[in-house]
Structure 1
Amino acid sequence: MDKTPFSQIIAYLNKGMLEAELTDELSELVKAVRDTHRMGELTLKLKVQLHNARDEDTVIITPAVNNKKPRLDMAKAIMYSTADGDLLRNDPNQPELQLKAIESDNRPLKTLAQ
């Protein structure tokens, strides 16, 4: 006896939307792998149970899709700590320079001949 192809069963599940969801999830996974150069994983889980105990012919299939897309590492930050547990962006032991902006005088720039 011939069996129904798995791809056809997937097309029936979730009113036909599971196949479209898997297509989108796989596309997102491929993009994330290309962006991060790290491995990802797409998992389809099918839970199968009897509809009721009196009828072995009727089953309920519940699909679940899990997409483990790779992520880029979060940016690191160097900070300075104090004895009381505070974190500072600038080194408290280094004096700050008193810098100020120079105003532009809007004169045209001169170019040198080559």
Structure 2
Amino acid sequence: MLTTTPFNQNLVHLNKGTLNDELTEHLAELVKAVRETGKAGSLTLTLKISMFNKANEDVVKISPVVACKLPEGERAETIMWTTADGDLLRNDPAQNFTELKQVEGIDSQRRTLPEQEAAPLRKVQ
């Protein structure tokens, strides 16, 4: 038969109950991030336990440390060109740039071609 207080009952009393609330929030945030990214994360609780004072061995102080590592989503990659002096350019400096502009006086409405019946496929030997 267990004579010590269960861990979860002690957890509720640490930091006047705020530690339990904090862990609950971190756990929900972690679960959401794992579902969104499909990657693993972690929630770590470390309890540092030390003597409160040397005069009384029956009293300890407990210092909790919570670490929540959320998984990171994929970041988009960017392709850029470089110069000898370390600058980054969005466009290839060796390629000519053509400034496009709208030509006035031309009907710019979209046109659709009439549908044509596709020719039957033939076997090629």
Q: What secondary structure is seen at the aligned counterpart in 2 of 1:16?
A: helix
Q: Tell me which structure has the larger Cα radius of gyration.
A: 2
Alpha-carbon RMSD across the aligned residues, in angstroms, is 2.6
Q: What secondary structure is seen at the aligned counterpart in 1 of 2:57?
A: strand
**Change beyond 3 A, Cα 1:102–1:18:** farther
**Change beyond 3 A, Cα 1:15–1:102:** farther
Structure 2: gaps (5+ residues): 113-125
**Change beyond 3 A, Cα 1:109–1:36:** closer
Partners in 2 of 1:69 and 1:58 — Cα distance? 36
Structure 1, 8-17 or 66-75: larger mean CA deviation: 66-75
Q: Give the counterpart letter for 1:2 in structure 2.
A: T
How many residues are aligned here?
A: 112
**Change beyond 3 A, Cα 1:9–1:76:** same
Q: CA deviation at 1:87?
A: 1.1
**Change beyond 3 A, Cα 1:83–1:32:** same
Q: Percent identity?
A: 51
In the TM superposition, 1:41-52 aligns within 5 A as 41-52=42-53
Q: CA deviation at 1:101?
A: 4.1
Structure 1: gaps (5+ residues): none
**TM value normalised by structure 1:** 0.85
